[in-house]
């Protein structure tokens, strides 16, 4: 190890120690599942918003966004803009609805509408989708840090997992959120350090970099045509982004759980809005880092070594060779914070889903203390399994888990379509929802296996030829349309079922408002 890198190590050790202290700070309060999973619904709105921002900006973002901007343009930013449109829908209707319709798990709502099997499917799909990425996040974090410092990749993974699992187990969601707050500020510091170093070292100064990037159309958001095979199409990227964030804000426990920790509906909305509004400029800054990195190597005429053979590797190489020790440690702390914020949030959510959607069904007479203990066990098991996956990836290469990632991407699809079916269609019933789920699984299986150059199944002219980014959006629509149409082949649900839809919620609000007006006139 280069002796100068001890400065980086000191910075990272201080950061890790701070995370452990926060976890211990909140450990004594975790006496019930209400405290452990929703922080007794007492989190201030600003902390909730920063937590959402910290959860959505992952360590993959730190590498993927600069790599995308380096290799191309800013088209990857387009999906992020859709979060604003989705937020308007979520804020007006979905946040207040969920805060009064469910206890702790978003998948309780699916049981209210369609019965427990659909709830179990939703919870399982969420768990598969999130668990599948946790090991990969551990791996990419350790790989990036090891490439910058030369530290052992396995040591980095084990140390990161130990700290993350520890403070998540003992501190519950309250510790997760307050560590997210610290991590959110650390991320901002890392971003500005990188941009500052790039501008300071830029040959010819910042103006030369911006002029060169502008002339090369590196700031372009893509083409205006709606081409379903072109990933630079603004129409395609907008469609992908809309459905991606619709699923995140309506059927993803990670975000819905944040709605529930706020003190009121108004504070929940303000917190969600803050989180979204923090993410958009952060994504733009990551794209700017990639563009400035491209401009630096263009203007300096410095040749990249042979091992930097992908765009995603250029920015870590710049950090390793150009950013001074100490400052690099601050950036790496922000990289750790990005990974750990997402991982701790996912671990807590997986634990909640395991307890609320499965354990309580298996053991309905279990005490709150037993449920709390099981929640901690689930976090420990999921954390250990995810780091084991990361070690296997590092040992045997990423291809070892390609099949698993393919299966998880198939199973995790359609949750936004399922929510829309439940929320918008009073005529939809359990049998129709089941038909929609089967149709969605069939479509996503076909599209995933027959798409791309390295397709698993080649059906010739019947291969799925559109961009893989459209698979999720189409899957949601397939589930919605098939589920609604199939519902007419079966008896209509009980009239009381309407109360769990948008129309029933609007009727209750209207009745409540009328009652308030009458009371005020008496």
- Identify the CATH class of 5-412: mainly alpha
Written as six digits, the tokens of 88 are: 């308007």
Of 364 and 412, the one with more pLDDT: 364
Residue 516's pLDDT band (boundaries 50, 70, 90)? low
Cβ(431)–Cβ(122) below 8 Å: no
Instruction: Look at residues 188, 192, 187, 184 and name the one whose alpha carbon lies nearest to residue 50.
Output: 184
Of 323 and 417, the one with more pLDDT: 417
Of 2 and 450, the one with more pLDDT: 450
Instruction: Look at residues 78, 338, 20 and name the one whose alpha carbon lies nearest to residue 194.
Output: 338
84-107: average pLDDT: 86
Predicted pLDDT of residue 1: 39
Give tens-digit pLDDT for 122-170.
999 888 888 777 888 888 888 888 877 778 889 888 999 999 999 999 9
102-119: average pLDDT: 93
Q: How far apart are CA 145 and CA 515, in angstroms?
A: 60
Residue 263 has pLDDT above 50, yes or no: yes
Give tens-digit pLDDT for 183-234.
888 888 888 988 999 999 999 999 999 999 999 999 998 888 777 777 778 8
Give tens-digit pLDDT for 283-321.
999 999 999 999 999 999 998 888 888 888 898 888 888
Residue 268 has pLDDT above 70, yes or no: yes
Lowest model confidence (mean pLDDT) among 103-112, 190-199, 392-401, 481-490 = 392-401
Residue 248's pLDDT band (boundaries 50, 70, 90)? confident
431-451: average pLDDT: 92
For the chain, how big is the Rg over CA atoms in Å? 24
DSSP per-residue letters across 76-118: GGHHHHHHHHHHHHIIIIIHHHHHHH-SS-TTHHHHHHH-HHH
Predicted pLDDT of residue 300: 92
The per-residue pLDDT of the chain, averaged, comes to 86
Sorted by where each begins, the domain ranges of the chain are 5-412, 413-522
Predicted pLDDT of residue 360: 93
Predicted pLDDT of residue 396: 67
Of 232 and 175, the one with more pLDDT: 175
Residue 402's pLDDT band (boundaries 50, 70, 90)? low
Q: SS in 3 state form for 202-254?
A: CCCHHHHHHHHHHHCCCCCCCECCCCCCCCCEHHHHHHHHHHHHHHHHHHCHH
Of 136 and 46, the one with more pLDDT: 46
pLDDT above 70 covers what percent of the chain? 94
């Amino acid at each position: 190890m280069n002796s100068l890198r001890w400065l980086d190590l000191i910075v990272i050790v201080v950061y890790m120690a701070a995370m452990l202290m926060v976890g211990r700070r909140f450990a004594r309060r975790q006496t019930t599942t209400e405290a452990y999973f929703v922080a007794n619904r007492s989190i201030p709105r600003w902390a909730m918003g920063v937590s959402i921002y910290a959860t959505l900006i992952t360590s993959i973002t730190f590498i993927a966004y600069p790599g995308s901007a380096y290799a191309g343009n800013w088209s990857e930013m387009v999906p992020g803009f859709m979060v604003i449109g989705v937020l308007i829908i979520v804020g007006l209707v979905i946040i207040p609805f969920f805060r009064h319709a469910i206890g702790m798990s978003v998948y309780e709502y699916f049981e209210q509408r369609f019965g427990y099997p659909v709830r179990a499917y939703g919870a399982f799909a969420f768990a598969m989708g999130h668990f599948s990425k946790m090991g990969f996040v551990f791996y990419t974090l350790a790989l990036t840090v090891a490439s910058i410092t030369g530290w052992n990749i396995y040591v980095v993974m084990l140390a990161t997992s130990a700290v993350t699992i520890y403070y998540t187990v003992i501190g519950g969601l309250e510790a997760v959120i307050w560590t997210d707050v610290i991590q959110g500020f650390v991320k901002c510091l890392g971003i500005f350090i990188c941009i500052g170093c790039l501008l300071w070292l830029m040959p010819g100064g910042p103006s030369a970099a911006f002029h060169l990037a502008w002339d090369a159309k590196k700031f372009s958001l893509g083409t205006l045509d709606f081409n379903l095979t072109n990933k630079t199409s603004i129409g395609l990227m907008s469609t992908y982004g809309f459905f991606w964030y619709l699923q995140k804000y309506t059927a993803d426990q990670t975000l819905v759980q944040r709605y529930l920790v706020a003190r009121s509906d108004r504070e929940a909305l303000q917190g969600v809005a803050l989180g979204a509004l923090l993410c958009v400029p952060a994504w733009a800054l990551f794209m700017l880092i990639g563009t400035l990195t491209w401009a630096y190597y263009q203007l300096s005429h410095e040749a990249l070594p042979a091992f930097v053979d992908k765009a995603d590797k250029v920015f870590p190489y710049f950090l390793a060779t150009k950013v001074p020790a100490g400052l690099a440690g601050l950036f790496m702390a922000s990289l750790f914070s990005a990974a750990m914020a997402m991982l701790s949030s996912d671990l807590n959510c997986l634990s909640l889903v395991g307890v609320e959607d499965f354990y309580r069904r298996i053991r309905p007479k279990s005490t709150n203390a037993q449920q709390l203990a099981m929640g901690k066990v689930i976090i420990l098991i999921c954390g250990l399994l995810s780091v084991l996956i990361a070690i296997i990836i590092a040992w045997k290469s990423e291809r070892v888990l390609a099949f698993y990632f393919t299966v998880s991407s198939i199973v995790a699809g359609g949750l936004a379509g399922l929510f829309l079916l439940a929320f918008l269609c009073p005529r939809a019933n359990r049998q129709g929802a089941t038909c929609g789920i089967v149709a969605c699984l069939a479509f996503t299986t076909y599209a995933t296996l027959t798409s791309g150059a390295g397709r698993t199944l080649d059906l010739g002219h019947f291969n799925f030829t559109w961009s893989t980014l459209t698979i999720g959006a189409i899957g949601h629509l397939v589930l919605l349309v098939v589920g609604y149409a199939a519902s007419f082949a079966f008896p209509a649900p009980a009239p009381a079922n309407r109360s769990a839809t948008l129309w029933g919620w609007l009727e209750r609000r209207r009745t409540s408002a009328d009652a308030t007006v009458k009371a005020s006139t008496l």
